[in-house]
Amino acid sequence: MKTQVAIIGSGPAGLMLGHLLRQAGLDAVIVERQSAAHVLSRIRAGVLETVTTEILEDLDLAERMNAEGIPHHGFNLADGERLIHIDIKALTGKHVLIYGQTELTKDLIDAAPKRGLEIIWEADAAALHDTQSDAPFITYTKGGVSHQVDARFIVGCDGFHGASRKAMPPCVGRQYEKIYPFGWLGILADVPPCDQELIYANHERGFSLASMRSATRSRYYIQVPLGEKAEDWPTGKLWDEVCARLPPAAAKKVTRGPALEKSIAPLRSFVFEPMQSGSLFLAGDAAHIVPPTGAKGLNLAASDIRYLSRAFIAWFKKNDQDAVARYSEQALSRVWKSERFSWQLTMLMHRFSEDSSFDRRVQAAELDYIASSETARRAIAENYVGLPL
């Protein structure tokens, strides 16, 4: 098979890129290791910035998102019993949209056949070849049969554990990493949310987050030490812990229910530089990871794809090579600002077992400063809604 852009991975990054290229009349093929059902069963992000919603709008695939998504004009930071409201609408004039990554992925997958975007599901052992030449190719096996996709460019949208980053020539890359000593245990349940807005709570028992997917579906997270397993947390015990950590007014309004999904995600900050070498490009989680505290991961994948799709369209349609050459530098500039914000919010809102009493007092002072300073709240709001492209 021959195409212009071969994409590895059918998460949000690969799907958005494939659709934007097809819309411009370019050929693209996606090679995905999992089945469509598996990809659609993963519960992940819930907060979309304008950079992400605008891609769906531009693709004319925003109908369900606009009907079912919930605009949020603010969110809350809790410090024990105190609630600090971040009025993102008043501070920035913008908002974020509550719409699950699962739903966005579904909209993109459902539209693929009629837009001529081929997705090869259950493709095993994807391997990248000749990535430093003008004729790179991917090989994979499906049902025991070997296949090859020849392309002008390969884009690794295969997430943190994918094959693409490992295919970068060893001499070109540098990675930056920070591992946090805890994970987030999440529960999804068909119960109404405890508040109209999200609450990120710093509590002496550890961080918790009250989030939602809709007026009838809630998502809660609690900070747990590394090494704990979701099975160690019977649902009743998890609800007790969520309620113990949220401010009392919100805790009283928590409705408990059976878990539709329960899982633990480790927290990590990670950047691989550069995001391009020869004919191989990285986008989304394949190149960078942020801890979920800032709700940035999916939105960063969207900004990478905005830059990269524009660059490929300029290359193929106008023979303009500049944007492709600038992609890595352009994307990394936004990536590092989101890394900084996600790290800052993570450090502010979590409890660290090795914290000295001094560290904890500094954390409390910072929350106090945010509560008293509109300037501090505006800086948080500006980053939360997403910095300009």
- Residue 339 binds what, of ligand PHB, ligand RFL, none (CB under 5 to 8 Å, by partner type)? none
C-alpha neighbours within 13 Å on the C-beta side of residue 45: 27
Max intra-chain CA distance, the chain: 64
Q: Which of residues 295-354 bind ligand PHB (CB under 6 A)?
A: 295
Q: Which of 108, 199, 212, 298 binds ligand RFL (CB under 6 A)?
A: 298
Residues with Cβ < 8 Å from 194, sequence gap 6 or more?
210, 218, 246, 250, 251, 253, 254, 255
- Residue 157 binds what, of ligand PHB, ligand RFL, none (CB under 5 to 8 Å, by partner type)? ligand RFL
- What ranges make up the beta strands (E) of 216-295? 218-225, 261-273, 276-277, 280-282, 288-289
| Binding flag, residue 19, ligand PHB (CB under 6 A) | no
- Residue 219 binds what, of ligand PHB, ligand RFL, none (CB under 5 to 8 Å, by partner type)? ligand PHB
Question: Which residues are bridge partners to 184 per DSSP?
Answer: 223, 265
| Binding flag, residue 311, ligand RFL (CB under 6 A) | no
| Binding flag, residue 40, ligand RFL (CB under 6 A) | no
| Binding flag, residue 52, ligand PHB (CB under 6 A) | no
| Binding flag, residue 69, ligand RFL (CB under 6 A) | no
- List residues with catalytic annotation: 72, 200, 292, 296, 384
| Binding flag, residue 211, ligand PHB (CB under 6 A) | yes
Q: Which two tokens stand for residue 121?
A: 């599901």
Contact 307, 197 (CB under 8 A): no
Q: Which of 3, 50, 76, 101 binds ligand RFL (CB under 6 A)?
A: 101
Q: Which of 26, 78, 301, 324 binds ligand RFL (CB under 6 A)?
A: 301
Question: Which residues are bridge partners to 211 per DSSP?
Answer: 219
Cα–Cα distances (Å) from 310 to 26, 154, 299, 307, in that order, read: 12, 15, 17, 5
Residues that bind ligand PHB (CB under 6 A): 45-47, 198, 211, 219, 292-293, 295
